Structure 1
């Protein structure tokens, strides 16, 4: 009779739970973590100073910074929807 092992199922469950937790907290930061989150968000740009300025401003208002160095703004509706007077995105 074949022996039933729970190990593969436990491993799969851990992977699924990790993914769900990451999705649930994606982008959300505490106020004191804004500089670090924005440092990473702006790490790939050649315009670091303005990127860091606006990212930190947006982070302090929204308490959210999208994951990655570009895009993914749908993770943070406040960050995504804040526009300049001209209607362009305010947050990098």
Structure 2
């Protein structure tokens, strides 16, 4: 999979993550904190609530230099205790 993804993406590039998690006020801050540790910068996440308001969908775009950054952030974002899915 790593080789396939590397073939499809030309680096450096913008890469958007979609993170779905519990609708807690600190979710967005936790996501940005994890990203800032790897790739410092200013981020403008797009936040949407689910119909019942139990979940938040956060789309956030980073500027990735290589495939390792993308894979590492997938792993780190998924480790946030209130995150349910990272796409």
Could you state the TM-score of these two structures normalised by the residue count of structure 2? 0.30
Highest relative contact order (Cα 8 Å, sep 6+), 1 or 2? 2
Could you state the TM-score of these two structures normalised by the residue count of structure 1? 0.29
Which protein is bigger by CA-based radius of gyration?
1
Structure having the larger proportion of residues in strand: 2
